[in-house]
Structure 1
Amino acid sequence: MATSSEIIPTICGICDAGCAVDIHLVDGKIERLTPMRNHPHGIICPRGTRVAEIVYAPDRLLYPQRRVGPRGAGRFERISWDEAYAFWVEKLQALKAEYGPESICMYTGRGNFEFGVQETFPPAGTSESSASSILFPFGSPNSTGVGALCFVAYGMIAPQACYGEHYRHVSDDLDNADLILIWGANPATDSPPTNLARAKNALRRGARVVVIDHRRSETAKAIRAEWLGIRPGTDGALALGICHVMIQEKLYDADFVGHWTHGFAELADYVAAFTPARVEAITG
């Protein structure tokens, strides 16, 4: 029997990077994704290469299911959404009446990355937080999840601490930088993969790219960058040593520091002990 094939240009939806890809369909089903040619973001990450496995995974949940056997037996039956809603309304109200609203805890997330912290601290004006629309009005503050390093740390906690607001990212100007420091990241294996292509382009135009990692990572190998291998767990000492040198040699913007920062004098006092010789002994 003849098969039909089709290639559809689109954007990968696994994360929010918007990588341009071509979907290869065979008889209407995804066979694979490939980077879109001649597109600045035509790139694909390891998760993108496995998209067919994600979509057609035999254990992927598509509908509500209710346990029909003893706990742990793994036996479930499919039910309708209306049945699921009715069950949970009845169950939640019964638990609230007997134990109080704080007896309820919500664990949230999705296949791409978890949303536990976002559920607890949703940005004003958004409507995607089930905690704000259901759990908090119900009377429980207990929203949880496993904090994803990429999203929770970079997307939420860091900008909240630095700028007082979620999602206020500092965009890396890799396309114009003369020095690119890749530290605590591995764009050759991570999503979004766009920064790997940007780092490669920077090397071609003459920029210096340095990777700091306790192992020679996939990124260091992929772009043949300078690799600074340090002992595991000594990143903090290296960072403090860099601060020491920058302060001692006055390699910082004094006007900016004086106008926009607090505690700089205390920082300078603290890092004074992290001389290059001491840091070298710590980091290897």
Structure 2
Amino acid sequence: MQFDPEFFTESLFSPSAPFLRGLMMTVAVSVISMTLALFVGLLVAMMARSRFFALRTVAGLYVWILRGTPLLVQLVLLYMGFSAAGIFAFETVSIAGISIAGAVQAAVVALTLNESAYVAEIVRSGLETIPKGQVEASQILGMTAISTMRWVILPQAIRTMVPPLGNTFNQLMKNTSILSVIGVQEMFLMTQSISSATFRTFEIFCVAALYYLLLTTIWTVIQWYIERHYNHKVGLPYEIPLVSSTVRVLRSGRAGLARSPREETPKEVLTP
């Protein structure tokens, strides 16, 4: 079967309603899961920094288990395993007139738990970059632990957290493709359905790949603006890494071609 450019073009620029529903599901699940993961991850990071041994132990086990097991296993265990064992079953609920299937709920919970473990480590490492002297100075001024965290530590640490958190969100959006195993009608599952109905597997999956690329690219641009904002606040230079690095490589290449071998030799070597 040959490549059908007409089908590819139509699917890319005028996607069907099922494909658009899958796209919206992918975006919604990604945004909701990452938002919840930020709150849970921050809580776990605070527990990991607690002076109480029990809280540090719980936080350590939480991160160890969720980072050490595959997301696919966590997803299936949460949705199918718990139901089969009679522990808990996700059922369809209605919130503000919107019906949310049990599979979607399980997907959000699984992604939130998995991502929060990574977020917790990012937050913990970011907080540890702040000198302890600033915390002690805040205590001398009479600030509470919550006020110190809110006004002193987080505003400084968040700049170092943005790049890894942005990369984590990018990874989460791509991980939504495995939600099809429990029947969540996200973009990958809808692409499979269209492929089965049209027998245009290569074309429609190329379209899906381009839409995943579009989503991650949009977020990369948003992340760059966020990084630019925080770098500007502390007086650091800001530029687009990809563009700037490419320009530097091209410039260095032209400069290298323009210089002669004798010009590249250190002056100390040429001097008798």
TM-score band w.r.t. shorter chain = under 0.3
TM-score between both structures, scaled by the size of structure 2: 0.20
Structure with bigger helix share is 2
TM-score normalised by the chain length of structure 1: 0.20
